[in-house]
Amino acid sequence: MSNQTTHHITLIPGDGIGPEVTSAARKVIAAAGVVIDWEIVDAGAGAIDKFDTTLPEETLNSIRKNKVALKGPLTTPIGTGFRSVNVELRKTLDLYSNVRPVRSAMGISVHHQPINMVIFRENTEDLYAGLEQDIAPGVAQSLKIITEKASLRIARAAFGWAEKNNRKLVHAVHKANIMKKSDGLFLDCCRRVAAEFPKITYKEIIVDNCAMQMVMRPYQFDVVVLGNLYGDIISDLAAGLVGGLGVVPGANIGDEYAVFESVHGSAPDIAGKGIANPMATILSANMMLRHLGESKAADRIQAAIVLFLSEKQFLTPDLGGTATTDEMVEGIINKIKLLR
Ligand code: NAI
């Protein structure tokens, strides 16, 4: 134990169910024997009183220093109020790749054939640029920004990951039949990157057809690369195929920093009830462990989760059970101990 690495990681507990699920992930990591010195920082509505901003400089500096963060979800007011802190964080730290693995082995799939796709969502532009205005009474405008730089790098992230992980197929998702300029540029960039990876099959699919195909034949998808808005919607759809938002992890990766967080939001409808499914955040933390080079511990946690799910006991209500968050965490930790 004495020469074990201590990792210094920033933790944003988040809003709603965030503190419950991030605390669950910390317990699981500790049970797997990884030592982390957590630097706990504020963001979102909870930071306003103390720092007069939703994204304090101290929070950004903590991530800049530690390079890696685990993050709970942050609430964004609908229609009015402050802009999304999640979007701000991704843009400020240039976390351009949002990576979301969707696997039926990890959840309770509604399909019989195994689903094992990895979604690469562009994370810094598109309609999330926040360029909106009222241009006349009763007329609002929102600008969709697509750049060559961002499209090339998300495509390279997707193809590069596919090659490294021995995946065979990348789908680019678009609506370039209608948005010939913006989605046309995205598609052109994907085609150029595809030409750099001749061993990987490249396919294109229009986003509406993609939604239908994903519901009917999701197992045809391997690696999927999309712009920001399509990526947001399609990854929630994909989550629904493997057990819901409670089981799908995610990572926001840039060239310098990485922030790990589940696909789900702050789930205000169940916050504070002790019934949130912690699996998505535990799996996000597990992606973080691999990023940190702790692959042995990550393999053990993954095996423990597979074993835990196979018994279909101590599941939270979203997975059809009656267990609390704590009971589920205890169940997973018991499996980790078994696999020691
Ligand atoms: P949501 O993901 O919070 O909830 C959607 C539904 O899924 C709810 O019924 C919720 O109870 C359920 N759910 C989500 N996570 C769950 C879990 N771990 N266990 C069990 N059930 C779970 O999405 P919603 O309601 O659209 O957004 C709520 C807030 O979260 C909004 O303010 C939104 O802006 C924010 N949000 C933040 C994200 C982030 O911080 N990365 C991502 C998505 C939404």
> What's the pLDDT tens digit per position in 255-299?
999 999 999 999 999 999 999 999 999 999 999 999 999 999 999
Please give the pLDDT value at position 268.
Answer: 96
Among candidate residues 149, 180, 208, 273, the one labeled active-site is 208
Q: Any idea what the CATH number is for the domain that residue 13 is in?
A: 3.40.718.10
Q: How many domains does the chain have?
A: 2
**Residue 65 among the catalytic residues:** no
Q: For all residues of the chain together, what is the average pLDDT?
A: 95
Residue 326 pLDDT class (50, 70, 90 cuts) = very high
Q: Which is it for strands 132-136 and 116-122: parallel, antiparallel or unpaired? A: unpaired
Q: Report whether residue 183 contacts ligand 1, using a CB cutoff of 6 Å.
A: no
**Residue 175 among the catalytic residues:** yes
Q: Are residues 232 and 166 in the same domain?
A: yes
Q: Are residues 217 and 263 in the same domain?
A: no
Q: Is residue 141 pLDDT above 50, yes or no? A: yes
Q: Report whether residue 86 contacts ligand 1, using a CB cutoff of 6 Å.
A: yes
Q: Are residues 260 and 326 in the same domain?
A: yes
**Residue 273 among the catalytic residues:** no
Bridge partners (DSSP) listed for residue 243: none
The whole-number average pLDDT for the span 189-212 is 98
Residue 109 pLDDT class (50, 70, 90 cuts) = low
Q: Are residues 233 and 255 in the same domain?
A: no
Q: Is residue 1 pLDDT above 80, yes or no? A: no
Tens of pLDDT, residue by residue over 206-249, are 999 999 999 999 999 999 999 999 999 999 999 999 999 999 99
Q: Report whether residue 44 contacts ligand 1, using a CB cutoff of 6 Å.
A: no
Which of 241, 270, 290 terminates a domain? The answer is 241
Domain of residue 288 covers: 1-103+243-340
For ligand 1, mutation pick of 20, 95, 264, 279 (most atoms within 8 Å of CB): 264
